[in-house]
Structure 1
């Protein structure tokens, strides 16, 4: 009988697991949305006893998922208490994980439940306050194991996102939280939608009026030299890059997940292509997650 080859495992260092837990009503759903925006594969309310099977799947060499965020709480019922055994097994397998524990004051949780009219997992027909007290006691052991504890009593959703960024994300991870699109376009057609910053570079000399250059586009070395080897272009790039150095960290701090930067010239084939390429290159060198798009480069 032919043996079925064992599936290869990848290095445990390739997997990053974030466990989001805490008190009901403290903001776990918003935290999970945050990690989804940050590029994590997110699962809500996974029963603890299924966690290792999931990790085994993600550990396969062919699996491309690297970052996983799991929200686990008392909705799992009696399975919840298995989480402590699972944490020990994760350590034995050298799988990196962090625990984020969210909490809030009893009065604020009570207010949030009264606003949403949702049922607390430990309250069937009794008092909500008693249910919250029971949950606090049952979650204490897991709270003690948490790497980061965030009190959301005085935080709205935007402020919670900022707190997670500040408390959990490294410098490189913070830079990657914001997805940036750098788009060149021609004003003679239309400005792309969803642009947050738009730069009009029609003040730069236009290679279109040079018969030797007009049929080339901004990816050609002759056009690149024509646009970049000018003092006004160099000065503009320095000023624009300095402005982005100021704006982008502040956008990230405010919880913004997408930034559209439009660079426009008359036809979208020459000046805007060269400048957008330089800006995209600059942002990636700074560690940001930027992608380049040329909207109108093929139009004539």
Structure 2
């Protein structure tokens, strides 16, 4: 497992902890980070998993590493994670598949629903009640059912499917929860996380 983060995040972490970068001799932390990347290019290429921790909370990071460590491809199991997120907060680097659902009707513009989330019945009914939404979830569910066995045949042990809307509060949350229920009915074990719902 190779752990990494973007430059801005690494610089911020060194600033907050007030620790000296291990390859820093003189100059800025930014130069030390760049030098470190150069030194670790070969090591990075040998890793089975490369994990960008830039956007993880400590609890999300712990859970993600736990899933990697416990994944067991030899038993023919694919660890499937569904993740909701908001595009305004950036793409989730751990995602294998990213689906943009910003084309669906947005509950944010309904005043009574604005402060709710995809867990609330009003938001769920609004999002999933539109014909385009029903058509989308049925087709995307069918696509995932087709892809999962193919990923297993390729020896993949961990699959993260990320569903994104604008803020990560309404549409993506409702769609992820719907897909979770559908895939569990198909017999798959599904883990779910909602990355940005607490940022709203």
Q: Output the TM-score relative to the length of structure 1.
A: 0.42
- Could you tell me which residue of structure 2 aligns to residue 67 of structure 1? none
State how far apart, in whole Å, the 2-side matches of 1:232 and 1:37 are: 35
Equivalent positions of 1:131-170 (< 5 A) are none
Shift of 1:206: 0.5
1:133-169, Cα deviation, whole Å (9 max, x unpaired): xxxxxxxxxxxxxxxxxxxxxxxxxxxx7xxx6xxx6
* 1:243 aligned onto 2:140: no
Q: CA deviation at 1:280?
A: 1.4
Which is greater in Rg? Answer: 1
1:284 aligns with 2:184: yes
Is residue 263 from structure 1 mapped to residue 163 from structure 2 by the alignment? Answer: yes
- Match of residue 180, structure 1, among 63, 68, 80: 80
Residues of 2 paired with 1:288 and 1:254: CA distance?
Answer: 18
Kindly indicate whether residue 89 of structure 2 is the aligned counterpart of residue 202 of structure 1.
no
Aligned length: 131
* Structure 2 CA distance for partners of 1:247 and 1:213, relative to 1, 3 Å: same
State yes or no: 1:212 paired with 2:121.
Answer: no
1:274 to 138, 149, 174: 174
Could you list the per-position Cα deviations for residues 203-228 of structure 1 after superposition, in whole angstroms to 9, with x for gaps in the alignment?
A: 00101011111011110000000001
How far did 1:299 drift? 1.4
> Which residue of the partner structure matches residue 231 of structure 1?
131
Q: Spell out structure 1 runs of 4+ moving beyond 4 A.
A: none
Unaligned runs of 5+ in 2: 1-69
Number of the residue aligned with 1:222:
122
- If asked which structure has higher relative contact order (CA below 8 Å, sep 6+), I would say 2
Maintained 8 Å contact 2:98/2:162: yes
> Could you tell me how far apart the structure 2 residues matched to 1:273 and 1:295 are?
9
SS at match of 2:198: coil
